[in-house]
Structure 1
């Protein structure tokens, strides 16, 4: 196929990607747009692969709040059931009434004990109730400490706060063409410095009559900048040294092309390095298009305005 024939055998193959030669044999993409790996691991027990701490740090905020709230309800329902199992007679100050009223009174007592508030309306009297209340108070104290650590970890964890263009473009560049995509930091105070970027290409290559995935490091017009207060358009010239030299849109599809993007920079707010991954598949690469400018000067000409909503705006160009 044309896609295989156009591979430059002298292009630099990247042996440091960590990807297996057949990692994409099942189709789809290897790296998701949000930077996570589209990967399932097998062969080890679930409890050894699962990390509650890591998952809680990476959950979306609404899911994180939901997990905390559901845990609070369930753990108090459990202790309420234990108090009922022991016998509500061991709780002094309980207002008698219907079963539902008694359940509510004990549930509220459980929440007060769990959070160590202890208003004093109901208190344990028997040995069994006192033992359960003590265990519950300890469980609540430890749970609060864990929740506090998770909340602190979520807020203090360095994040890149970058947005990438939805598509990469093959655009006119000097006397030829180049593959381009762009990104920007969208937080006002989070301007990155000492920014480095690497782009690898994974595609099918025909060798000895067999198609196999190979990975190539793409040469960039610039792979490092000292400061990035605005947007950055990453440019890979498609010249005779490029593994994509001579590729048409159909060739990229045939080769199942995927671009792997890795970015790293220093964030002054976190005073730490942050990194971000993303990828572009052949279906997300548009040909003969050009990005529109995404910045303008203020009316008084004294300030540059970065128009983040235009990061995906591009238009057609003549072949």
Structure 2
């Protein structure tokens, strides 16, 4: 970004800092001791509603009456991969252990584990067990895994001696199908989320306030790193003011800022676009001066929405600009260059 020079005459309002003028390049005129205007109390490093990456910095306190597991499916979709896979591992393992214990309990009540009724001696005593080739809990656990995964029973198979074993096997087959359907649905939902696509949409590190077409404007840029285009784009901005004393959100209100992208209503996202908010009488930033920007506490949330051309899925990218991310009197440099082969090159 390229800064402009602003010169101001000395005033009684800044006598406590310095009566002489100061010319700063790049940037805006401010007294020599302007850092005193940004005290440690006002400077906030982590207090922002939305991080630069688009993640929300909001923690919601829930009461004991709230049902956390009512939306367990969406919780597994939105959580990290390691926690989702850990839940899958725990669910399947508990399923195998539970039904392995059920088969063991049924076989134990049928006296299948006595020494004379073990598989090597069953033919001698003409004994029919509930499940063939079962020696203990390890065997019933492996049988439970075989029922769940349907990998064929092999030497372990169910008999008609115990009806409760047949009922338990049917219940496990139904629950196994439900578990696998839920797992496939969660994996498909996680893989098809456009979250990875939002990471390729970049916002400018700073927003600037300068003159544009003889009007004061708040300007920021948004660009896409991929070659696949985003259609029907829409950019929105919201203003959140904070109390300087207790760092609380004032009235929990968001004031929408009118934003125009490249001075047109519908934009074909060919290259990085410039979002402009005109600071006029109707703007919440109309009474904001350069000195106020040094001391005030505000945050501008920016939202970029569109449709992915290749998949047709909606995508939303977010970022924010605090008072430290807004530069007064700066301009963005050009990002375009032209090569000999008549191609337009952009530097992101």
Query: In 2 relative to 1, CA 82–197 (structure 1 residues): closer, same or farther, beyond 3 Å?
Result: same
Q: Deviations over 1:242-283 (max 9, x none)?
A: 433464677347542111223322332233543344333334
| Residue pair 1:260, 1:278 contacting (<8 A) in 2 also | yes
* CA–CA separation in structure 1 for the residues paired with 2:90 and 2:328: 49
Query: In 2 relative to 1, CA 128–205 (structure 1 residues): closer, same or farther, beyond 3 Å?
Result: closer
1:1-319 matched pairs, under 5 angstroms: 28-32=47-51, 33-34=53-54, 36=56, 38-40=58-60, 42=62, 45-47=65-67, 50-87=70-107, 89=112, 90-94=130-134, 96=135, 103-125=137-159, 126-157=162-193, 161-162=197-198, 163-165=201-203, 167-170=205-208, 172-174=210-212, 178-189=217-228, 191-204=229-242, 212-213=250-251, 215-222=254-261, 224-238=265-279, 242-245=283-286, 247=288, 251-252=292-293, 254-285=295-326, 291=332, 301-307=341-347, 310=348
Comparing 106-115 and 287-296, the one that deviates more:
287-296
Unaligned runs of 5+ in 2: 1-12, 14-45, 113-129
| Residue pair 1:170, 1:177 contacting (<8 A) in 2 also | no
Q: Secondary structure at the match of 2:267?
A: strand
* CA–CA separation in structure 2 for the residues paired with 1:107 and 1:289: 69
Q: Secondary structure at the match of 2:73?
A: helix
Q: Normalization by structure 1: what TM-score?
A: 0.67
Query: In 2 relative to 1, CA 278–75 (structure 1 residues): closer, same or farther, beyond 3 Å?
Result: farther
Q: Secondary structure at the match of 1:85?
A: helix
Q: Secondary structure at the match of 1:136?
A: helix
* CA–CA separation in structure 2 for the residues paired with 1:300 and 1:103: 76
C-alpha deviation, 1:28, in angstroms: 3.4
Larger Cα-atom Rg: 2
* CA–CA separation in structure 2 for the residues paired with 1:216 and 1:294: 31
| Residue pair 1:158, 1:270 contacting (<8 A) in 2 also | no
Aligned residue pairs, count: 271
Comparing 212-221 and 133-142, the one that deviates more:
212-221
Q: Normalization by structure 2: what TM-score?
A: 0.62
